[in-house]
Amino acid sequence: MKVILASDHAGLELRQELVAALTARGVAHEDVGPVTRDSVDYPDFAARVSRAVASGEATLGVLVCGTGIGMSIVANKHKGIRAALCTTEFEARMARAHNDANVLCLGQRVVGAGVGRAILEAFLSTAFEGGRHERRVQMIREAESQG
């Protein structure tokens, strides 16, 4: 597994916490920034992570901004991306188990470092269940080509 992470300026500190958690857990990861609190455009960072996940360069992605909303909107514009904005561990588990989510979106202004780490752990440790959910995920894939 390889995880790619990015944020905007409003998600910098939480992203750094998540990078530290991945390092401590021994999970391969790539942190693509930014490196300062200078204002940046979140769509650029969401696109970079989404392209890496969609191409198979990374297995999963993590995006952090102030609320997680903007990142999730942009990520879900990319074919092959199923981004989930999660504020609880339960949402993260269900996003992976039932929706095969491949990008986790978090809001630094919404969840603190401890909750953010717990959500990330739930996201990483939950596998897609397949079965009855596979049909629905296939419907999502089909919807991508209709728009």
Residues annotated as catalytic are: 65, 98
Annotated binding residue 132: yes
Annotated binding residue 68: yes
Annotated binding residue 109: yes
Annotated binding residue 112: no
Kindly state the helix (H) or strand (E) to which residue 54 belongs, with its residue range.
helix 42-55
Annotated binding residue 31: no
Annotated binding residue 66: yes
State the binding site: 8-9, 66-70, 99, 109, 132, 136
State the binding site for D-ribulose 5-phosphate: 8-9, 66-70, 99, 109, 132, 136
